Amino acid sequence: MSAATPESVTTGPNSQGSLYLLSLDYDRSINEPYLEVLESLDSKVRWCREVTVMGVISFCCFSLDQLAGCVHFLDSRPAAVEECSEKGCLAVSLLELLGFNLTFIFLASLLVLIQPVAAGSGIPEIKCYLNGVKVPGIVRLRTLVCKALGVLFSVAGGLFVGKEGPMIHSGAVVGAGLPQFQSISLRKIQFNFPYFRSDRDKRDFVSAGAAAGVAAAFGAPIGGTLFSLEEGSSFWNQGLTWKVLFCSMSATFTLNFFRSGIQFGSWGSFQLPGLLNFGEFKCPESDKKCHLWTAVDLGFFILMGILGGLLGATFNCINKRLAKYRMRNVHPKPKLVRVLESLLVCLTTTLVVFVASMVLGECRPLSSTNHGGNSSLGLQDSSSDEVNSSIKTFFCPNDTYNDMATLFFNPQESAILQLFHQEGTFSPVTLSLFFLLYFLLSCWTYGISVPSGLFVPSLLCGAAFGRLVANLLKSYIGLDHIYSGTFALIGAAAFLGGVVRMTISLTVILIESTNEITYGLPIMITLMVAKWTGDLFNKGIYDIYVNLRGVPLLEWETKAEMDKLRASDIMEPNLMYVYPHTRIQSLVSILRTTVHHAFPVVTENRAYEREFMKWDQLISNNIKFKKSSILTRAGEQRKRSQSMKSYPSSELRNVCDDHIATEEPPETEDMLQQMLERRYTPYPNLYPDQSPSEEWTMEERFRPLTFHGLILRSQLVTLLVRGVCYAENQSSTSQPRLSYGEMAEDYPRYPDIHDLDLTLLNPRMIVDITPYMNPSPFTVSPNTHVSQVFNLFRTMGLRHLPVVNAVGEIVGIITRHNLTHEFLQARLRQHYRTI
């Protein structure tokens, strides 16, 4: 098989911690088997299947979120510590606390050792998957089990982590695996369900699963849909919107139905929309001057947004340095070192929480109305009971409570409710110390080898910051009309927005969690200001981890200066290609000596143009003009080897400049009829056996290749496995035909060419590729600007983008690697040097 040096199509930028990653095929291969399926496809039946699968995904997400809610049953230690504070057995309670926490964190770390990709929140990995990068093991069943159980132990172990991020990852795994009705971890479980077997369908279900995870965690179905759109999915369409929204709604109300029945015994009351409920924001009825917020407060909210962006940027900067340190000094060492690091963080966190609660806390008087004057304790305001019951009185007399212990020795959700609704004044000193300690410890914790989320810790840290601002405004400026809960909510939004840099989805999530639409404007303004401020210094925390792992993530758009480059400047001209009819020995050789996942289908036949040039002077002149203005592979390679800036005036030697004798065409020849016949001539049967020679010229090595389509590696392997071929003395019509279901039967793990026993196949047999190739993939011209190439590649979810000149010759190919920021910057610098 004649081919040049293979192009790099799958590797990411050479950054620290980079992995060898594959891309996903989100573009449909519209070949003959697929067209046969379309003819028999009933859109109503497919719609019913999708709705059914979405409903099952939402139920599974409810089950996972309900499992995460079990963490409160494991957390009976604060009561034991409070009893010991009265009996004088603090040393025993501290040892008990350490024993529980270290055991839980040890179990969480072991689960991460079993499946390393289960560490962290999983949101950066899901973002990469939806962007088109296949991260190994990210949607495996083993990952789901380790993630769900690991986050349960992480939260129960007292670490400053949240369970919402891992639940989003878990929902995405359910969305990816459930429609397949099979699992590599459970090989014996196989169902005959041949639908949704493509990366494109799986991507849509992953988007729905991630949205369902957000919806169930926060009780925010619309926010979950927008989260999947804004932070997760890179490719979106109108049909996907309602599917994701339906899945999010189903997850929210399924969780609401069961939690209301299990917790209150009131089945069908729908009183608990999500795992995290912020309660009702309401001013005390006795305070007529109180308002949730006023126009004057918007100025303070903007300042809080600026501070939140600065704090978020600081958090991200410190965490990034810690992550780089772990990559250099922790990850290369034995896996036991990661477990020891997690135990060290757990030990430090436990000691800090215990000592701070006992030493730094102040005894504050209980308010007569602990929930802002709203004494309704029924189902309509269950958060009032939680606020009252979560008050801690360590070493404090009656009618007082320990403000530091109330914040530290409560589940994070209860501590957030305290800051939002507890009208008893938290000491400014306590809030400052709590914010500082929580900021540092949560920053140290995020990134260790345990499943951990960042939403709730950021909300709690920001709520303390907002409550501190409210206390200072009341105490030193005399603004008695402000509502402390509002400032706590705005502080939580500012800090979380400064860390993750989300705007639209986070605004809707907070509005749905508070059930207060009037907070929409201040939350949106605060988040926008926090994002703008943080973006001046660094990226969001999820984007930072994507870059640290070297994932070739495609951003929303390229910089304007990149339009100085064209497709010919960034494409790879060295191609590995196949012919429409190729011998088995050639296909096996190509597949075993390359790692490419798609191959152009080409032919090498230019005799027709030479005949036309003989017959007509006008055609000859037009072809000469075409030759002088068309970019070819040989010309591009010569240009790069000579580091020339402009294209050569003539790309092919001895073609345009040679004198070509013209002859009058025979009168008996009908020129138009011959052209029409040649236009519809079938692909020639080419059986190339010759490999490139070192003695070949540039034109011989980079011969003109007429582009006919694109064939995937998985499709070629499937054809070989199933023996789809014909003998040389037979017609290609005798070749067996495969259906679409047979082609996709092994999805998503197709056989490896190195593991196949092909001894039964005759290497001289021929494979007709044309029925299974994609004859009309997306292509671009060599003169297309990079911004247009980037938008087409990203919007359509492509994996390979052939570059075809004006005469139908393929001159190069563009992959994800050619569109990464690092690659484009390098080519732009090279462009400047050649000026």
> Residue 687: is its pLDDT beyond 60?
no
| 8 A C-beta contact, residue 415 and residue 406 | yes
Q: Which CATH superfamily is domain 61-264 in?
A: Clc chloride channel (1.10.3080.10)
How many Å apart are CA 776 and CA 804, to the nearest integer? Answer: 12
- Fold identical between 61-264 and 562-639+698-834? no
| pLDDT tens digits, 259-298 | 777 666 666 666 666 667 777 777 766 666 667 788 888 9
Q: How confident is the model at residue 679 (pLDDT cuts 50, 70, 90)?
A: very low
Q: What is the DSSP letter of 182?
A: B
| 8 A C-beta contact, residue 254 and residue 58 | yes
- pLDDT for residue 672: 38
Nearest to 121 by CA among 555, 541, 502: 541
Mean pLDDT highest for which of 76-85, 131-140, 281-290? Answer: 131-140
Q: At residue 601, what is the residue type?
A: V
Q: What percent of the chain has pLDDT over 70?
A: 71
Q: How confident is the model at residue 3 (pLDDT cuts 50, 70, 90)?
A: very low
> Residue 663: is its pLDDT beyond 80?
no
Q: How confident is the model at residue 638 (pLDDT cuts 50, 70, 90)?
A: low
- pLDDT for residue 269: 67
Averaged pLDDT for residues 190-219: 77
CA atoms within 13 A on the CB side of 194: 9
Q: At residue 12, what is the residue type?
A: G
Alpha helices in 671-819 (DSSP H): 671-679, 698-701, 713-721, 740-743, 786-795
The residue that leads in pLDDT, 672 or 87, is 87
- pLDDT for residue 271: 64
Beta-carbon count within 10 A of 139 CB: 25
| pLDDT tens digits, 798-810 | 889 999 988 888 8
How many Å apart are CA 528 and CA 522, to the nearest integer? Answer: 10
| pLDDT tens digits, 351-400 | 999 888 888 877 777 765 444 433 333 333 455 555 666 677 777 777 77
Q: How many helices (H) and strands (E) does the chain have?
A: 33, 10
Q: Would you call 720 exposed, middle or buried from its count of C-beta atoms within 10 A (0-12, 13-18, 19+)?
A: buried
Range of lowest pLDDT (609-618, 718-727, 808-817, 826-835): 609-618
- pLDDT for residue 113: 92
> Residue 206: is its pLDDT beyond 80?
yes
CATH fold for the domain made of 295-364+387-549: Clc chloride channel (1.10.3080)
> Residue 69: is its pLDDT beyond 60?
no
Averaged pLDDT for residues 409-423: 83
Positive or negative CA dihedral for 544, 547, 551, 554?
positive
Averaged pLDDT for residues 621-631: 51
The residue that leads in pLDDT, 690 or 544, is 544
| 8 A C-beta contact, residue 120 and residue 163 | no
Per-domain boundaries in the chain: 61-264, 295-364+387-549, 562-639+698-834
In Å, what is the CA distance from 219 to each residue of 112, 467, 746?
28, 24, 38
What is the b/e burial string over 404-436, where b = at least 16 CB atoms within 10 angstroms of the residue's CB? bbbbbbbbbbbbbbbbbbbbbbbbbebbebbbe
| pLDDT tens digits, 12-56 | 333 333 444 677 778 888 888 888 777 766 555 555 555 555 555
- pLDDT for residue 71: 54
How many Å apart are CA 105 and CA 450, to the nearest integer? Answer: 8
Which two tokens mark 332?
């290369």
Range of lowest pLDDT (143-157, 177-191, 478-492): 177-191
Which two tokens mark 612?
């036309």
- pLDDT for residue 172: 84
Q: Would you call 265 exposed, middle or buried from its count of C-beta atoms within 10 A (0-12, 13-18, 19+)?
A: exposed
Averaged pLDDT for residues 304-308: 95
Domain 562-639+698-834 top-level CATH class: alpha beta
Nearest to 216 by CA among 185, 171, 265, 282: 171
Mean pLDDT highest for which of 90-94, 212-216, 586-590? Answer: 586-590
The residue that leads in pLDDT, 676 or 818, is 818
Nearest to 815 by CA among 228, 251, 198, 7: 7
Summary mean pLDDT of the chain: 76
How many Å apart are CA 232 and CA 249, to the nearest integer? Answer: 18
In Å, what is the CA distance from 76 to each residue of 83, 86, 384, 417, 541?
12, 17, 21, 19, 33
